[in-house]
Chain A
Amino acid sequence: MPSEPTVAPGEAGEVVVRLENASRVYNPGENEVRAMDAIDLVIRRGEFTALVGPSGSGKSTLLHCLGCLDAPTSGRVVIAGQDVTAGLTAAQRGEIRNKSIGFIFQSFNLIPVLTAYENIEFALQINGTMNAKQMRERVLEMLDLLGLTTQKDRRPNQLSGGQQQRVAIGRALAKRPALILADEPTANLDRKTSEDIIALMRRMNEQLGATFVFSTHDEHLMGHARRIVRLTDGRIVSEESRPAHG
């Protein structure tokens, strides 16, 4: 039997990521594109935040900077207390992602030759902090939470889009990262499945205390978020907080 869900370590409300006057400029010069412009943003532990805005508003760039996949051209990014703005090697950035960040992608991006079980396990193996028994328990726990126990031996091409995204959520959550970033996680799903996925993310947020930041331009899905950050032309134009459900 899977063990009880484990809550991510850390205190509720502590700062997970901080962006200070962060900008990201592509092609500096005449044809420069300012994808992120002087962003100040603090994400605290346990938040369930939606980044909202039209295409090209800078949602993905902001997510990439939050996730240490990209770095701002000016300003500062601090993830889990570590300044990751500049001067880090690809390996060091990888290590930060490995230890502190989970990703959920629009196209699921599961490894096609691995089963649902193995896809989740793979993230733990990369993480390298658990022994085989602990990994097995954690993967089974995640599969149980995600309602995928009976599909654990199926490969991605044998799963529906919604099931694949569940596996991707399991992969992101299994190592209990400080922050989970989801870039348009429902863009390739139908309305009902999208609702299910967001509801599942929300449940993981509440049950496990996981910190989620996700991007979407689906107004309907924004209703699930406890905090909504609106972006336009790379700038934060408004922020809105909502009371917790229940």
Chain B
Amino acid sequence: MADAYLWRLAARNALRNRRRSFFTLTSILLGVSLFIVTRSFVDGIDATLIAIEVDNESAHVRVVPTDYLKEEDYQPLDMPFPDVPGLSKRLADLAPGTRVIDRVSFAAEVGDGRRTLRCRGLVVDRDAYKAVFPVGELPVPPGDEPYLWAGTGIADTFGWKPGDRIFLKAKTRRGTLNALDAVRFAGPISTGHPFVDNYTVILPRHLGAEFLDLPADFATEVLARFPDPALAMAAERLVEAPGSVLTAETWEERTADFRAVNQIRRAAFNIVVALILMMGAAGVANTGLMSAIERTREIGTLMAIGLAPARVRKLMTIEAVLIALVGAVLGVLLGSLVAHHFAVHGLHFPELEQAENVSLVPPVLFFDLSARTIGMAAAFGIGTALIAAIWPAVRASRLSPIEALREDD
């Protein structure tokens, strides 16, 4: 290493006033570890909420008739969706491994005879649905009786067990009311998506088509999941070609609101981290200045025996960087340890588990610890120290050796 002797001297000098170095190191450690923890926390919110939305509700792209968006709250079944099979094929052709599903969303009411609950009903092809969404087995009960699956929240509300008979009511495509009073509960769906778990029931295609009087190949929405999430943009361009009556919502658009809120959260955390790192910077500058003042005579000696001013600057800077480096390494270890713990075990917010929709913080948040975050934290820690070290280092290098040697005379 070039100037290895300066590194050796700097390392020993850093150990000279251990208490002062320790406090400086600790502030860098805190700043770096806090940066990792808070950023992993916010990135975890992003990643978890995106995963919940993509994995359980809207996949990477959701296509609906443009007019449907205005009426979506009422979940109409009379909105035409042209050429569902053709669109599904075009989406599937975007990349090998793409999985596509069409489904029908409708306003439903379920109950146990005494109580009823308004909810969303979905009509899906079971196998296709399982291929797009990791919802588990979706067990099929024996016999020919009609059946449905319901989110765990609904099942828990009514105390349903697989095989129980339940009540289902909905408006058909023709606008007439239809009801089934002995639909078997086939099993719960547990996804982590509050809307799916608490407000959704799923009917298999053959039962739903008959119950709602749906024509063949009818759908209210088509969803696609790509091997690469970035393909959602290509799908959007494909769907929204000039003259199209369809609209595509990408996963980025579907999650834009909470990601925007997260940006605010990230900025707030960054301010806290910046304040701590500024304390660290003040510590580094103070350590450097005190060191330069206490060692004026020594620096003068070094310059007298030929150490160039640039090397004096380098020596003083290395001292600060070494302290920051140790602080940054320990900070990375501590921050990574904490973030990794929550990345594996998650941070639980039980009060959010009954939320109606994807909230701004998921009920179980898994931190997202990335190499980029670790690299940024270390770079900020060391960079801050480097900047803070400049002033004392320049001050030391500008000492006149003759004046410095007169110190303490």
Q: Does B13 belong to the interface (CB within 8 Å)?
A: yes
B300 smallest CB distance to A (angstroms): 8
The reply to whether B297 and A109 contact each other, CB–CB distance below 8 Å, is yes
Chain A interface bracket (under 10, 10 to 19, 20 to 34, 35 or more): 20 to 34
Please determine whether B305 and A113 come into contact, CB atoms closer than 8 angstroms. no
Give per-residue flags for A55-67: 1 if the beta carbon is below 8 A from chain B beta carbons, else 0.
0000000001001
Task: Report yes or no: A171 in contact with B306, Cβ–Cβ below 8 A.
Answer: no
A102 part of interface (Cβ distance < 8 Å): yes
Give the residues in chain A near B8, CB-CB below 8 Å. 118
Q: Which residues from 97 to 131 on chain A have a C-beta closer than 8 Å to any C-beta of chain B?
A: 97-99, 101-103, 105, 107, 109, 111-114, 118, 121-123, 125-127
Cα distance A101–B305 in the bound complex, in angstroms: 8
Q: Given A69-B402, A122-B5, A122-B9 in contact, is the A94-B303 Cβ separation under 8 Å? A: yes
Interface of B, secondary structure class, is helix
Q: Whose C-beta in chain B lies nearest to the C-beta of A96?
A: B306
Residues in B whose Cβ lies below 8 Å from that of A172:
305
* A111 adjacent to B306 (CB under 8 Å): no
Cα A127 to Cα B307 with chains together (Å):
8
Q: Is B16 an interface residue (CB 8 A)?
A: yes
A126 touches which of B297, B305, B310, B402 (Cβ 8 Å): B305
The answer to whether A69 touches B9, judged by C-beta atoms less than 8 angstroms apart, is no
Across the A-B interface, give the 9 residue pairs with the lowest CB-CB distance, nearest first. A98-B306, A113-B12, A125-B5, A109-B301, A69-B402, A97-B306, A94-B308, A126-B306, A91-B308
**A90 touches B (CB below 8 Å):** yes
1/0 contact string of B126-170 vs chain A (CB within 8 Å): 000000000000000000000000000000000000000000000
Kindly list 17 other residue pairs between chains A and B, CB separation below 8 angstroms, not including A69-B402, A103-B305: A64-B402, A90-B309, A91-B310, A94-B303, A94-B308, A97-B305, A97-B306, A101-B306, A102-B305, A103-B304, A105-B301, A107-B408, A109-B301, A111-B301, A113-B12, A122-B9, A172-B305
Residue B298, interface by CB 8 Å: yes
A64 and chain B: residue at smallest CB distance = B402
Whether A114 contacts B9 by the Cβ 8 Å rule is yes
For residue B76, CB closer than 8 A to chain A, the reply is no
In the complex, the answer to whether B310 meets A69 with C-beta atoms within 8 Å is no
A95 within 8 A of B: yes
Tell me, yes or no, whether A70 is within 8 Å of chain B by CB. yes
- In chain A, positions 159-210 with a C-beta closer than 8 Å to chain B are 171-172
CB distance from A130 to the nearest CB of B (A): 12
| B306 near A105: Cβ-Cβ < 8 Å | no
Complex Cα gap A64–B301 (Å): 13
Q: Contact between A171 and B12 (Cβ–Cβ < 8 Å)?
A: no
Q: Which residues of B contact A171 (CB under 8 A)?
A: 305
